[in-house]
Chains A and B, each alone.
Chain A
Amino acid sequence: MELANLYQSINLIIPEIVLSIALIVLVIADLIFHTNKKIIPFIAGTGILVTAIFVINQFNYIGFAFSTATHTARSFGMLAVDSFGVFFKLIVIVSSFIIVLLSLASDEIQKTTDRIGEYYALIYGMILGMFFMITATDLILIYLSLELLSLSSYVLAGFTKLRDRNSEASLKYLLYGAVSSGLMLFGISLVYGLTGSTNLYIINTLIQNPHINLFTLSFATILIFAGIGYKISSAPFHFWTPDVYEGAPITITAFLSVASKAAGFALLIRFVKTVFVSYETNEGFWSLIEVFDWQSILVVISILTMTLGNFSALWQNNLKRMLAYSSIAHAGYMLLGLVVLSNQGLIAILIYFMIYLLMNLGAFLVVMLIANKINSEEIDDYNGLGFTSPLLSVSLAIFLISLTGLPPTAGFIGKLYLFIALVDAKMIAVAIIALLNSVVSLYYYVRVLKHMYLVKATASTPSIIPSTSNAILLLVLVVPVLIFGVYFQPLVEFAKDCIVILGI
């Protein structure tokens, strides 16, 4: 590699470099201030904010980095910086910042003060892994970034250890995760055997060769999907989700359900688009190379995912576990945006993710604040809270209605754009199934509201009033959910600006 290439490449990964430096500063600060650890969260938050600035700045830098120009005359990089990637990096970084604030408010995390440095260092590890997942265009980098994300999240899922169910969540997460990454690695090795390259762009050119073995390629693709599907918890790789989400500390549950899922989706979309799409039509539809029928497979997977998620959620009595199943269902909805294989579907996914970030993190924030007080996440313990704790209950009601997808909340807009994309692609039947699923989901979301508002408060019902800072954080999440429900044009415009995936 020439030095000029290296300098240019380093310009393109400045956010990742800043993040790594912040991680090291964090580790050193943890050693220096080992008597007074109150400063650690602020260092962590500052590092994330600084990274965010550089991420936003990346809208001006577009290009390939770290090209390995040995294979062909045209050089494609190991990672691609484009507006699509920057969008997902922003989702990750915003949710990380909210998670840092959540951790400050969480009793569960505050009890582990002597290990708080490790906690934030591991969160940084997750962010770094996700950043590379989002931009990677080389199978080696994809595998490695996935592992970086996984390793950090295995540990975080069992972080508090106060209740033994945590370390158990960790073990299940680790065993399933290691198996799925093993399957993925085998798939990658087959692709490498078929094409002799690990670069997604070169693979794209090579699989257009009519002599390629279709069965081998499909088999390898399915194996690779096992690794990615595990991260976005799509069926049939979803079964770890409820246990891990219930067992992990609630801040980590929230983080996994938003950021880790976003990174997985970014990876899946980029993988499908760069490897299997030959060109884009004028109407913005992606024309697949006829080697693997992504559309049919994704339709089946997404319907399975949302149906399993929604129907399992019906019987849950633990709100955290219910939200886990609901997040599986939401992964199913978002896969629908990819099913249509068009720019319009992509825009719908991006809009959905922005809204999903607000409403899901918000719901977890409320659950956490209530759990801080009553030390329980059982829905039965929410009886009568609507009368004693108005602010929390109203907010939770808004988040749950938005998760259902009813107007006038933002969740409605997210679903609306997904359905429009489906109808435009003439997939009415799929749209109807998704609609029916939303109706099912209404039942379990409303059940929580029933417990809060239709059961009379008794003398033992606690009154939970959040501290000022927590109330502000809550409002910061609630108000946009309402505003974007009616004034959603900025979201749409922003999403339309962010659909550039660097291609051939």
Chain B
Amino acid sequence: MTNGHPVLEAIDHTLEVKNRPPLNRASEWVSTVDHKKIGLMYIAYALVFLIIAGLQAVLMRIQLAVPNNHFVSPQVFNRLFTMHGTTMVFFVGMPILFGFGNYLVPLMIGARDMAFPRLNAFSFWISAFGGVLLYFSYLGGEGLYGAGSAPDVGWFAYAPLTAKAFSPGHSTDYWTLAILLSGIGTTGTALNIVTTTICMRCKGMKMSRLPLFVWLMLVTSGLVFVAVSPLTAAQIMLTLDRYLGAHFFDTQAGGSAVLWMHFFWIFGHPEVYILVLPAFGFVNEIIPVFSRKAIFGYPAMVAASVGIGFISLSVWAHHMFTVGLGPAGNTFFVFATMVISVPTGIKIFNWLATLWGGKIIFRVPMMFCVAFLFQFLIAGLTGIMLSAAPFNWQLSASYFVVAHFHYVLVGAILTSLFGAFYYWYPKAIGRMMSETLGRWHFWLFIIGFHLTFDFMHVPGLLGMPRRIYTYEAGRGWEWWNLIVGIGAAFQVAGILCFVWNLLRSYYHGEPAGNDPWDAWTLEWATPSPPPAYNFAVEPTVFSRRPLWDLKHPEDQDENYE
């Protein structure tokens, strides 16, 4: 199917003004409230931070590649892993996923914009400002007390290390404020996405017909309300501690360090699901299109997503088994953590069932999704291992844990994100990404990923703790760390291919047309890139796959749902 929506394309050509002065165009981006532009800005700023935080990881791997290395000092190493973790979670993961959500949710539900466009712009700029603030700490962190530059308290910033006595200077304050701002922005965007999904659906787009990506953004946004808000509250408490002399986490005055752990992980574990649910959403959209089949078990997928959302709120203390929760606490959190693998397993089976008997097309988006399936499975399995409290006591805060959660974050989330880039780039830019470069990207990255994170489990099992800046030779860790470092080099090469592909395809990519993948959701009914306000006439849908209905008038989906 090529073009052919005359009504939709009409607005495209009349509104497009070519060759405006650059300043004009820049001010248009700064002042925009268009969900697509805001979505793209989210993604662009997250990509910048992805590169920065990725380079920090590379520096750490160089430091750890050989024993007794003095490439960076211990102080710099502390700052590197703190900034790497904070940046990746708050200024890469959340903005990039909410960027995709921002861009796609209104298009997919046939809306012309978000429910609150100005709130949308506010949310973007406030979280972008948070990221700038975090990195300004390199300049401003010194402050009055003359100690520290960037934050060095670790991404979960356990008390009492964050107290004024142990973290003088302002670096920790920058960390707190950056996360506070990011939290406000994220909550605003989540509010917007929920309201948009509920109130802006086009005619016929019942909840039972929402594309699964929209469902998953809905669950993610719901999680943001109940998970990010506790972090906001905890950051307010920490700020009160540091500025007004309150004693929330001040052990000298009877305050509790464990309370901070609880508050942080009440946010911290659902956060993993906030990040991974949109990734599930990408896979839910890509696998059916490249298997040429409707998704298997739509209602089960929705139920599993909502189930994961709820269960994820009751697993946080599996990060705290070593604190000594007592038998009842341990049992509860072990059980809850293991239970969450049930809805997750349902999802994996449904993806496999969608692939089963399909005419699978191995284009780059699909390749990333298949890699996602394998890698997410392994990540889940090591997760179940770690959920057993006695096993966890042995390996808590070891490289095994680091390998496990990077398997989720890189192997599942980042991998499916790459797939999403290759899948939706043609829609957003109007040009295809290069398939050849995409394959280079895929193989280099996947090889690098497995070299790094498969082998990272081993030094963890051999007792290597996380966050050490160097280690003695002769403990059996050297070779593993070297392989891990080599894998990082492959990943960097893969990312370079990706960035080059993004830039090159912008100018030289093949024109994409409206619907290059012969897909079924509403965003592919608009021109590429979609014009302002998306749809000249609000569409009406009658099934979960409106474009299928459009292309096959004789075989309407409605008859099968």
Report whether chain A binds chain B: no
**Contacts from B to A (Cβ < 8 Å):** none
